[in-house]
Amino acid sequence: MIAEIENLVNNLNIIISAKRITKIRKVTASTMLGKGVIQEIIDNITSKKINLLIVNSVLTPRQQKNLEDKLKIKVIDRTGIILEIFSKRAKSKEGKLQVELADLIYRKSRLVRAWTHLERQRGGTTFIGGPGELQIELDRRLIQEKINRIKVNLKKVKSRRNQQRKLRKKSNFKTFALVGYTNAGKSKLFNRLTKKKQSSRNVMFETLDTKTGRVYLGDNKYIGVIDTVGFINNIPTQLIESFKATLEELIYADVLINVIDISDINYRNKERITIETLRMANVSEAKINKMITVYNKADLSPYTLCTERHNLISAYTGDGVEEFKAKLINY
């Protein structure tokens, strides 16, 4: 899974000068990492002029602070990186609100801010120099007030969504929500099915917002298909908490479709992570049990198309998609 964090980090235009997998036999409570590893990092910092340490794990605020004090450079954990990617991707007002909320919840618990919005506006993700180094302590009360304001705004989003759902119910459509690991090809499949042009790129978390489209199944039958945000291993709980409005779509959808990139050797693991994340998002067991699984990117995999049994498709070439669509009539 080191490739995954590297991918995320590269997406933020951070240059990786050194990386290391370390087996932690005994967690040092104050810094997570032991003395030996810390010394090795210090040596690297000096020899390679490194100014940021990324720990691909969840650090407590105290651990982060202690590491920063020892290393004299910024330290960021997996949650921080994922939140940073999300804030880079958010485009719609709702997406931005939800990401900001996650960011604030994260920061509220931190002793020191990882970096400020001001810094971001000034020069992007530079990590060194700038006002961030002054380690401006954010007034927790101010953060809380901001959190409350965002929550009020998101409530309005929620009621708008409820309204839309009611309309959908009236039209008697069954809705199918595409779920799955980030980059599995949900948006590509959504485009194939609905003939819409949802952005689909080879980057993680391209989609943050929900989009709905209509699909004609023939015989005067239509269904609604929903494209939504992708999941990842160890998804920050702050994101689940703040993306409630988006994730609620999954609770209200009639059927879920788990889109899996079968060309990925880790696909079984990702299938499991998706199910765990759905549970975290309060999706019922009944809905998880009747979830349809579709194996995408068949064009990149050695498996041969056997759509009848496996729902093997390629959203890219279109192979198997019509056959898969035909099966949706039965739900």
Ligand X SMILES: Nc1nc2c(ncn2[C@@H]2O[C@H](COP(=O)(O)OP(=O)(O)OP(=O)(O)O)[C@@H](O)[C@H]2O)c(=O)[nH]1
Point out which residues bind Mg ion (CB under 5 A).
186-187, 206-207
Our finding on whether 40 is near ligand X (CB under 6 A) is no
- Dihedral angle over CA of 149, 59, 121, 231, nearest 10: -70
Our finding on whether 78 is near ligand X (CB under 6 A) is no
Each residue 306-325 as x (binds ligand X by CB under 6 A) or -, in order, gives: --------xxx---------
- Angle among Cα 178, 211, 224 to the nearest 5 degrees reads 65
Nearer to Mg ion by Cβ, of 206 and 299: the residue is 206
Q: Which amino acid is at 173?
A: F
Q: Which residue's Cβ lies closest to ligand X? A: 230
Nearest to 257 by CA among 305, 313, 300: 313
Distance CA 29, CA 39 (A): 17
- Strand partners for 28: 32
One DSSP character per residue, 261-304 reads ETTSTTHHHHHHHHHHHHHHTT--HHHHHT-EEEEE-GGGSSSP
- Among 87, 299, 305, 327, interactor with ligand X by CB under 6 A: 299
Our finding on whether 230 is near ligand X (CB under 6 A) is yes
Q: Least distance to ligand X from the beta carbon of 265, Å?
A: 15
The DSSP symbol for 73 reads S
Nearer to ligand X by Cβ, of 66 and 200: the residue is 200
Distance CA 325, CA 261 (A): 18
Our finding on whether 185 is near ligand X (CB under 6 A) is yes
Each residue 91-110 as x (binds ligand X by CB under 6 A) or -, in order, gives: --------------------
Roughly what angle, to the nearest 10 degrees, separates helices 61-71 and 35-48?
A: 50
**Which range touches ligand X (CB under 6 A), out of 25-33, 90-98, 129-137, 204-212?**
204-212
Q: Least distance to ligand X from the beta carbon of 204, Å?
A: 5
**Which range touches ligand X (CB under 6 A), out of 138-146, 202-210, 247-255, 287-295?**
202-210
Distance CA 143, CA 151 (A): 12
Q: Least distance to ligand X from the beta carbon of 180, Å?
A: 6
- Among 46, 121, 159, 202, interactor with ligand X by CB under 6 A: 202
Q: Least distance to Mg ion from the beta carbon of 206, Å?
A: 5
Our finding on whether 260 is near ligand X (CB under 6 A) is no
- Among 204, 215, 245, 247, interactor with ligand X by CB under 6 A: 204
Distance CA 288, CA 284 (A): 6
Nearer to ligand X by Cβ, of 31 and 182: the residue is 182
Non-local CB neighbours of 310 within 8 Å, separated by 6+ positions = 295, 303
Alpha helices in the chain (DSSP H): 2-11, 35-48, 61-71, 78-89, 93-108, 117-123, 140-170, 186-194, 237-242, 244-252, 267-280, 285-289, 307-310, 321-327
Non-local CB neighbours of 250 within 8 Å, separated by 6+ positions = 177, 179, 228, 256, 278, 281, 283
Contact of residue 117 among Mg ion, ligand X, none (CB under 5-8 Å per partner type): none
Q: Least distance to Mg ion from the beta carbon of 182, Å?
A: 8
Nearer to ligand X by Cβ, of 74 and 89: the residue is 89
Nearer to Mg ion by Cβ, of 102 and 204: the residue is 204
Evaluated on CA atoms 276, 277, 281, 287, the torsion sign reads negative
Q: Least distance to Mg ion from the beta carbon of 185, Å?
A: 8
- Among 64, 79, 194, 200, interactor with ligand X by CB under 6 A: 200
Binding site for ligand X (CB under 6 A): 182-188, 200-202, 204-207, 230, 296-297, 299-300, 314-316
